[in-house]
Structure 1
């Protein structure tokens, strides 16, 4: 029984993109009702993708850090794109309407996309909220440069001494390889639809 539970909880962990993989573009509905894809922005050097939600306490604790990452790196060519993939039947507080309210209330300066079918989360291999992916643009393609946590302190941003996403983007902007391309994502598990 325990093995079955572990296998079920890991069903999407082994799938999904790895560092170095090319990401397939997607088109998801933003909280403003417009469809957004990676190809929409021609001026970017890459993206910081944040799988997050409205309801997870860990995601809420990291929300200000996601906003700060966008403020720091969007002007340098690495904007944030937040994606909410929880099934709203299992997590009503993550409905599209609730997403719109949260984005307005927190004055998000980045898209907050609804992954209603969960296809994008599955493609990425996202398992948690938050789960971060840094994508580097190469030609017209986007390659995964970092996967994992934002930093190493979920309670206190000021106490974090390893800022994984910030370090990855800073290294990419300097033309250097990412020295720590993965870190274990922490947070609530994505609420998958019942199969």
Structure 2
């Protein structure tokens, strides 16, 4: 049974208005149980990356993020930590920058390369050139997470939403939505919370 968890923070009221981080209405895109199509996007190292490249993967954490959103920047270290924790278990992070670099020059591939190097990203950081992939997923924010379960029928969507319940301070997180979802998936258990509201900046289209 799908559970939708909403959460908010009184201290974010001003920021929510400034960066458009209020809750979204239902958007088109994948729902829990849908099969996500593969993609081929350019990585910061110049290679083209697809989900099919990861032969031994058990699933994927596809995270739409960027260089410029304050929310995404706050979560960078946690995204790195997720990759370090779950990639050895077969669930690597695949980060995708969905922003239009014509509207957000600091989200260009060249600037992405600099960011990935400076932060020591341990995962692919891909540019959604032409902005063809994020609408398929239904992503609206940065960051916005999609947990995929690699099955014999394809990559099934198991979780959609936020990484946790406190973007401002990782030490004060009470609910680790993504970690709970991945742990349950790997254990073959039901994921208790399958959807949360993604808090972040609107994708620039």
Q: TM-score, normalised by structure 1?
A: 0.91
What is the CA–CA distance in structure 1 between the aligned matches of 2:25 and 2:41, rounded to whole Å? 20
How far 1:14 sits from its partner (Å)? 1.9
What is the CA–CA distance in structure 2 between the aligned matches of 1:151 and 1:25, rounded to whole Å? 26
How far 1:140 sits from its partner (Å)? 5.4
Instruction: Give the 3-state SS of the residue equivalent to 2:41 in structure 1.
Output: strand
How far 1:116 sits from its partner (Å)? 1.2
Instruction: Give the 3-state SS of the residue equivalent to 2:133 in structure 1.
Output: helix
Residue 102 of structure 1: which of 115, 126, 136 is its match? Answer: 115
| Structure 2 residue aligned with 1:55 | 68
| Structure 2 residue aligned with 1:161 | 174
How far 1:139 sits from its partner (Å)? 1.3
User: How many residue pairs get matched?
Assistant: 184
Q: TM-score, normalised by structure 2?
A: 0.87
What is the CA–CA distance in structure 1 between the aligned matches of 2:77 and 2:142, rounded to whole Å? 14
What is the CA–CA distance in structure 1 between the aligned matches of 2:135 and 2:60, rounded to whole Å? 18
Does the alignment pair 1:72 with 2:81? no
How far 1:154 sits from its partner (Å)? 0.8
Q: Does structure 2 retain, via aligned residues, the 8 Å contact 1:12–1:126?
A: no
Q: Does structure 1 retain, via aligned residues, the 8 Å contact 2:23–2:198?
A: no
| Structure 2 residue aligned with 1:22 | 35
CA change 1:39–1:103 in 2 (3 A) is same
CA change 1:11–1:68 in 2 (3 A) is closer
Unaligned runs of 5+ in 2: 1-21
What is the CA–CA distance in structure 2 between the aligned matches of 1:133 and 1:22, rounded to whole Å? 12
What is the CA–CA distance in structure 1 between the aligned matches of 2:117 and 2:188, rounded to whole Å? 35
RMSD, aligned α-carbons: 1.6
| Structure 2 residue aligned with 1:3 | none
CA change 1:124–1:32 in 2 (3 A) is same
Q: What per-residue deviation string (whole Å, max 9, x for no partner) do you get for residues 89-138 of structure 1?
A: 11111001000110111111100000011111000000000000000011
Q: What per-residue deviation string (whole Å, max 9, x for no partner) do you get for residues 145-188 of structure 1?
A: 00000000010111111100000000011110111000000000
Find runs of 4+ consecutive structure 1 residues off by over 3 angstroms: 9-13
